[in-house]
Structure 1
């Protein structure tokens, strides 16, 4: 399993969505869970698979109408690494205030006139 080179907010969202699903997840389920566009989610899923974090397979359910689903599931190492990244997210997502920069007072809202 290769480490993730770019840990972005959308990547963390996808990892979190995959962690919350009981069993394999398909792309549309991840899209709905994250609120991200397909053009963001599918490249992340592909990258996670190339790096060995997840595996994918085609759904073989023939009774369900519609196109076949591509199912995504964590590898054993991938699930542990994803849990670590998602657990560390709140501290990484909130930058610490800089001691060198004093806090600015809030500006009062002024109506815009033209």
Structure 2
């Protein structure tokens, strides 16, 4: 399993989606994250190349339509993925700062 280096907010969203289930198909991850397929699929490819994710094509022929590719976060990657998701949430919550407002007593945080 390779080091991912810098993890973007979009990567953290993909990891969060992968943590939520044993196996998730690509378009469901797109829906879960609210990101476009052109953002999600390159992230999935990078995670797969780094050995964090295993992707498999659907084998059932009962469902009509194109085959789905399912992605599974590997066991060794789960603790690291949780850390990245937590770190991203922490960054996001610390980025939200109170807006100062002026009232009779002067400037204060709202």
Bin for the TM-score computed over the shorter chain: 0.7 to 0.9
Count of aligned residue pairs for this structure pair: 101
Question: Deviation at 1:105?
Answer: 4.6
Q: What's the counterpart of residue 17 of structure 2?
A: 17
Q: What's the counterpart of residue 78 of structure 2?
A: 79
Per-residue deviation, residues 44-71 of structure 1 (Å, max 9, x unmatched): 0000001111011111011111111111
Give the structure with the larger helix fraction: 2
Moved over 4 A (4+): 103-106
Q: Residue 6 of structure 1 aligns to a residue in which SS?
A: coil
- Give the gaps of 5 or more residues in structure 1: 98-102, 107-114
Provide TM-score, normalisation by structure 2.
0.81
- Give the gaps of 5 or more residues in structure 2: 103-110
CA RMSD of aligned residues (A): 2.1
Provide TM-score, normalisation by structure 1.
0.78
Give the structure with the larger strand fraction: 2
